[in-house]
Amino acid sequence: MINPIDNASNSLLTDFYQLTMAYGFWKSGMADKESVFHLFFRQAPFNGNHTISCGLENVIHYINGLRFKSEDLEYLESIKGNDGNPLFDKGFLSYLSKLEFRCSMDAVPEGTIVFPLEPMIRMQGPIVQCQLLETPLLNLMNFPSLIATKAARIRRAAQGDPVLEFGLRRAQGVDGAMTASRSAYIGGCDATSNVLAGRRFGIPVRGTIAHSWVMAFADETEAFRTYSNAMPNNCVLLVDTYSTIAGVEKAIQVGKELEEKGYKLSGIRLDSGDLADLSIKARELLDKNGFPDTRIVASNDLDETSIRNLKAQQARIDIWGVGTRLITAFDQPALDGVYKLSAIRTPGKDWAYKIKISDQSAKSTTPGIQQVRRYYRDDLYDGDVIYDLKTDMSAGCTLIDPSDTSRQKKIGLNIRHKDLLVPIYRKGKLVYELPAIEEIKQKVQEEISAFHPTVMRLANPHTYPVGNEKSLNELKTKLVLQARLKTQEKT
């Protein structure tokens, strides 16, 4: 969430080396060299096979507000080099003061399922501008995509039950909380406890009571009765402050008093103990006493694994309150998104395709100006091909698995498809209309249903075919070999 507290400039939301590289490009006369960068991730999180793209809206807000203000430039002017002199020339600071975004950007819309190595953003424009955007783009895409993916996994584990995001108090700061609440809702949560996120993003807000409320009264019955009088049309009682079953019995007593006033006991919440056993016993008590519609809410460090286990134990839980393990992506706190240069040229000249090589083959990048084409078969997604925009795809193509080139998939003519990267900016002008959050949320569920269930299962998902188009794969191999030969010649 950009600027959750104030309206300060965000132009310095970057790593220092982005500015030193930008300075180097400017000073060497390369500032206007045209470049292409791609943002992608190498490995899917949570032992899964995919990620849900999220964060594009804030990327757009960031770019729209990208200006180096006087206070930013004054700070940069104050930075000294090792010799004690100013690090940046005044001419460079003047250049930054006049900087206007002139890049073209294509991106995968929020809510789209993407797989490792598939570009989520393609940025094309002056290399100074593309380089300065690396850190903020990664910051604005990695965490939201991670949380949206986690939320979608939790929703699938809940099998249609409502999921409430309760993570504000455990989030990593204000920005982390706001970003995560939005991303969790997009991923599949039904509501949040974060009231500011509710107002800012239009997310439904929900909540119950805390143990402190119950402890503030002489006994549990008085606490429940007082709360029911205050909130008769939204009465969900936390029953495990002392003895859970005794708490359920007292909630039933207060529920009967509510009915006499024309209201209903909306629910009870379990926050500790054996949730499977306690929910079954609570359900029996509620049903026996005429409260079949009173819902059982459960919390207590839940995630997709614990929810799936509770489902397997026939737990009678209707609503899942998920906090810490969702809001912090507890079992994998970061997505390994990267942003890599793949082409450069003098404006109007031919592109020089670039590649980074590594002793780890997984870290070698893919050259070119890339697009991702997703193919359909029988209304289900059938495979994704990463291809270079200069390639003619009209005659069909061959998909090459990047981890095993012997694994190939031929895709013939006239197969239904869509290209995932869509225009967002053209030469600095925004050409994309931001969808409402409800549209993005719905898109996630539509995307999930468009894959075979085995591809989307939580444990040991089936491999979905993703790879480079044949000629792109051949180009990558050629450039890798050339780079290695140059290295050998120098040594």
Q: What is the structure's pLDDT at 488?
A: 73
pLDDT at residue 187, rounded to an integer: 98
Q: Which residues, in sequence order, are CB contacts of 310 under 8 Å at separation 6+?
A: 275, 276, 279, 298, 317
Residue 7: the pLDDT is: 52
Radius of gyration in angstroms for the set of CA atoms belonging to the chain, rounded to a whole number? 27
Q: How confident is the model at residue 6 (pLDDT cuts 50, 70, 90)?
A: very low
Q: Kindly report the length of the chain.
A: 491
Task: Give pLDDT, residue 73.
Answer: 97
Angle between helix 437-449 and helix 173-187 axes, rounded to 10 deg:
50
Residue 56 lies inside a defined structural domain of this protein:
no
Q: Which range among 126-135, 289-298, 378-387, 476-485 shows the weakest confidence by mean pLDDT?
A: 476-485
Q: What pLDDT score does 2 carry?
A: 47
Give yes or no for residue 491 having a pLDDT over 80: no
| Residue 490, pLDDT score | 66
* CA dihedral sign of residues 74, 75, 78, 80: negative
Mean pLDDT, residues 313-319 taken together: 98
Instruction: Please give the share of the chain, as a percent, with pLDDT higher than 90.
Output: 90
* Model pLDDT for residues 7-58, shown as the tens digit of each residue: 567 999 999 999 999 999 999 999 999 999 999 999 999 999 999 999 999 9
Residue 355 lies in a domain: no
Task: Pick the closest to residue 391 from 295, 469, 292, 488 (CA basis).
Answer: 469
Q: What is the pLDDT of residue 8?
A: 61
Mean pLDDT, the chain, whole residue set = 95
Structure tokens at 367: 């050259």
Q: What is the pLDDT of residues 404-448, one digit of tens each?
A: 888 999 998 889 999 999 999 999 999 999 999 999 999 999 999
- Percentage of the chain lying above the pLDDT 70 cut: 97
Please compute the mean of the pLDDT values over residues 351-370 and round it to a whole number.
Answer: 88
pLDDT digits (tens, 9 = 90+) for 365-406: 999 999 999 999 998 999 999 999 999 998 899 999 988 888
In the DSSP assignment, the letter for residue 430 is E
Counted domains in the chain: 1
Phi and psi, residue 123, nearest 5°: -115, 130
Residue 412: the pLDDT is 87
Distance (Å, rounded) from C-alpha 280 to C-alpha 287?
A: 11
Q: What is the pLDDT of residues 331-344, one digit of tens each?
A: 999 999 999 999 99
Give the three-class secondary structure for 215. helix
> What is the number of H-type helices and E-type strands within the chain?
17, 21
**Is the CB of residue 472 less than 8 Å from the CB of residue 392?**
no
List b or e across 240-265, with b for residues whose CB sees 16 or more CB atoms inside 10 angstroms: bbeebeebbbbbbebbebbeeeebeb
Assess if residue 321 is contained within a domain.
Answer: yes
Indicate the angle between helix axes 134-158 and 437-449, nearest 10 degrees.
60
Place of tokens 């708490």: 247
Looking at the domain assignment, is residue 105 inside a domain?
Answer: no
pLDDT at 1 over 60: no
Q: What is the pLDDT of residue 4?
A: 41
**How many CB atoms sit inside 10 A of residue 333's CB?**
11
Q: What is the DSSP string of 107-163?
A: EPPTT-EE-TT--SEEEEEEHHHHHHTHHHHHHHHHHHHHHHHHHHHHHHHHTT--E
Q: Give the CATH number for residue 317.
A: 3.20.20.70
- 198 within domain boundaries: yes
Give the other-Cβ count within 10 Å of 26's Cβ. Answer: 19
The H or E element containing residue 385 is strand 380-388
Q: Give the pTM.
A: 0.95
Residue spans of beta strands (DSSP E) within 202-276: 236-238, 267-270
Q: 337-374: string of b/e by CB count within 10 Å (b at 16+)?
A: bbbbbbbbeeeeeebebbbbbeeeeeebbbbbbbbbbb
pLDDT of residue 359: 72
**CB count in 10 Å sphere of residue 396:** 11
> Rounded to an integer, what distance in angstroms lies between the CA atom of residue 97 and that of residue 70?
8
> Which structural domain, as residue segments, surrounds residue 278?
148-327
Q: Which residues of 61-80 are buried (b: 16+ CB within 10 A; e: fewer)?
A: bbbeebebeeebbeebeeee
Q: Has residue 489 been placed in a domain?
A: no
More reliable by pLDDT, 488 or 11: 11
Q: Which helix (H) or strand (E) is 400 found in, with range?
A: strand 397-400
* 171 within some domain: yes
pLDDT tens per residue, range 66-114: 999 999 999 999 999 999 999 999 999 999 999 999 999 999 999 999 9
- Render pLDDT for 286-305 as a digit per residue (tens, 0 to 9): 999 999 999 999 999 999 99
In a domain, 138, yes or no: no
∠ CA 245-281-212 to the nearest 5 degrees? Answer: 35
